[in-house]
Amino acid sequence: MHAPFWLTTALLFPVLLYQGKRTRRVTPRLPEATGDCAGQYGEGEPVFRLLVLGESTAAGVGVESHAQGLASQLALQLHQRSGLCIGWSTFGVNGIRLGALLDALGSADLPPADAVLLSMGVNDTTGFTPRFRFRRQLIQLRENLATGYQAPITLLSVPPMDKFSALPAPLRQVMGWRARQLDRVYQVLAARNPDDFRYLGYPTVSDPALLARDGYHPSDKGYRAIAQALAEQDWGLPTP
């Protein structure tokens, strides 16, 4: 158990409740991106296909079109670095938690992919999803995708919510604390099960120019910056 966290949360609960409600009331609620949720960069048949699953970042909140979002921008970076034809697709729901995403994926027609990137954690942080449940749902996700997707699922670390300028103190610090706890679930799971998961750190987006007008989600520049950082990792691309 994380007794210090829960004790702090209990002591600050009236303040956190007030700040949480006020933040939801005054923060602009941006829509999900529109347009095609799949595409490719390069000519011919893609030799590598990327699928991004998750919450608002996978849904492209903060930009107008999915072409400006995380999956598309990461595919573009991989294409520019390798010269290969890279396909991309994304499936995300704004405000969703991991358990609800599992349900949604059960009826989704997901495309083939060589790599699956999971961008989750913010809503499970704010919803105080128990760590044991979060871990169990991640394992269930791996089992559900095992038939069609052989490569380990890439777990994009839970965003550092203590850096979110839209959140006031002490709510920002408590949410950051909780986000680190769920992120630790990612790290341990990937370390113990490397055939099923791998862990990538989330590039910190602290420059206001990289944030959308809600001060919460990445802007088009923010998604490009995140994609550039992630593209530096080894994605197992075939040799040209």
- Per-residue pLDDT, averaged over 218-232, amounts to 95
Structure tokens at 180: 């680190």
Residue 56 has pLDDT above 60, yes or no: yes
Min mean pLDDT across 81-95, 175-189, 193-207 is at 193-207
Mean of pLDDT values over 39-50: 97
Distance CA 68, CA 33 (A): 9
Average per-residue pLDDT for the chain: 93
| Unique residue bearing structure tokens 């839970």 | 158
What does the pLDDT read at residue 175?
93
pLDDT score at 39: 98
Tell me how long the chain is. 240
pLDDT value, residue 25: 87
pLDDT in tens, 67-126: 999 999 999 999 999 999 999 999 999 999 999 999 999 999 999 999 999 999 999 999
Q: What is the pLDDT of residues 147-164, one digit of tens each?
A: 889 999 999 999 988 888
15 pLDDT more than 70: yes
- State the sign of the Cα–Cα–Cα–Cα dihedral 192, 194, 196, 197: positive
pLDDT for position 152: 97
Q: Which of 1-5, 146-150, 181-185 has the highest mean pLDDT?
A: 181-185
The residues, any chain, with a CB within 8 Å of residue 143's CB and separated by 6 or more, are: none
Q: What DSSP state is assigned to residue 209?
A: G
Ranges of each domain in the chain = 46-231
240 pLDDT more than 80: no
Are 158 and 125 in contact, with CB atoms under 8 Å apart? yes
- pLDDT at residue 165, rounded to an integer: 76
Domain 46-231 has CATH 3.40.50.2000: no
pLDDT over 60 at 48, yes or no: yes
Q: How confident is the model at residue 13 (pLDDT cuts 50, 70, 90)?
A: confident
pLDDT at 204 over 80: no
pLDDT: which is higher, 47 or 166: 47
